[in-house]
Amino acid sequence: MSAYPHLAARLFNTPLMVLPAKLDAIIAGLGGRLLGVDGLTLPAAQSAAPEMLSTRRSEQHPGGWRLDNGVAVIDVRGALVHRSRLEADSTSLLGYDTIAAAFQSALSSDDARAIALVIDSPGGEVQGAFELASRIHAARGQKPVIAIADGMAASAAYLIASAADEVLATPTSYTGSVGIVMRHVDMSRALSKEGLQVTHIFAGAHKVDGNPYEPLPGNVRHALQADIDDLYGDFVQAVALHRGLPEHAVRDTQAQVYRGAAALPTGLIDRISTVDDAIAQLAALVAAPAPKKAMAAPNRKGNTMTHPEATAAPAAQEQALQAAREQGHAAGLSEGIRQGTQAERERTAAILGHERAAACPDLARQCIATGLTAEQASAILGAAPAPAATASAGFAQHMAALNPAVSGIEASSPADETAALAAQVLQHARHA
């Protein structure tokens, strides 16, 4: 059995931006081999991340991405590390440098008019995560970039996603976990039972801080916690910048993980979609217009000689003009995505800010998830009965009157009145 002590330094006593459950799975999958201790039993592992769910056909590009109707699709799968790409027993490890290289390749390719990051990752190492996110964020305006959680975009993986123009999630994907975690293993009692004792011979008071062969001293724990707190502040600040959110809103998530539409009210994602639909919509958005034919120069009598100098300058000018058009087109698309994202955030905030939203949270969330406008949601929330009368009703009862025929039935209870009002509002919206 192979030993992996070189991985221990990347898992223990080092800040990580990873979902804690997945960290436990990685450690358990590698077991005692991490520290060269046979028979060491750690928490049970969970299964590795599934393959990306997409039925669309695409062409593999040597730059590390797939081309799908003008969209460069970059798969971000597995635990994320600073450099290298290798397989461990419990998960695949993907380097930030590999993702950055693929992103840069797609950004500079004329074939790719937009970029989609399809993510299924619990996060990973701190080193390299912020740099990659900054690279993606700095590219805004060059080409439209979306990120979609296809299974999971947690912690460092979410940091990367947040840097895109728009963040999407499939209905059952998990997003969030904006936090930092560190693991320390104390093997002193296990070694004592085996009759083993480790003696450190070192220079420098902090040279062996956090070693696994003795309990963690209080002053060392305090220093490690201070480092974690600083990194957490950086994480919150970066997400707030990328998403246009106040920092307190990001902190209020308390590193929680959200499934599907539950992340919408937090502002961590913009909308729900499948991978196929997201790529198809992005491809339609950036569909290149038909190239304009160059106007032929008039054939003046008496001028039968062709001068290369006379034709080279207009050709160069036309190329520069076309490049400017393409850059402006990409910038306009990115701005359109930004404006649409901002409008969605404003719609969500308006619904959640309704005076009845706190009393009817399930109804408010369903109004958001079903795409109601702020005005429609306001009418429904305003007519909703008191919470005690609707505790067992749920959104299904409020929306049961979607059939236009119901609007003519006289309501006999507060819940029926709300359902009838919802039907009238939605029917009016259809014909508006």
DSSP string, 401-419: GGSGGGGGSPP-SHHHHHH
Residue from 155, 162, 273, 378 carrying the catalytic annotation: 155
Residue count (the chain): 432
Tell which residue, 10, 4, 11, has the closest CA to residue 38. 4
Structure tokens at 336: 């359109």
Q: Across-strand partners of 114? A: 71
What does the alpha-carbon distance between residue 83 and residue 428 come to, in Å, rounded to a whole number? 56
- Is-contact 234 250, C-beta < 8 A? no
What's the gap between Cα 334 and its chain centre?
17
- Is-contact 123 26, C-beta < 8 A? no
Q: Number of C-alpha atoms within 13 angstroms, CB side, residue 207? A: 6
What does the alpha-carbon distance between residue 116 and residue 229 come to, in Å, rounded to a whole number? 32
Q: Across-strand partners of 213? A: none
Active site residue 155: yes
371's CB contacts (< 8 A; 6+ apart) are: none
Q: For strand 71-77 and strand 79-81, is the pairing parallel, antiparallel, or unpaired?
A: unpaired
Cα 283 to Cα 19, 149, 338: the distances in Å are 32, 18, 17
What's the gap between Cα 235 and its chain centre?
14
Catalytic residues: 155
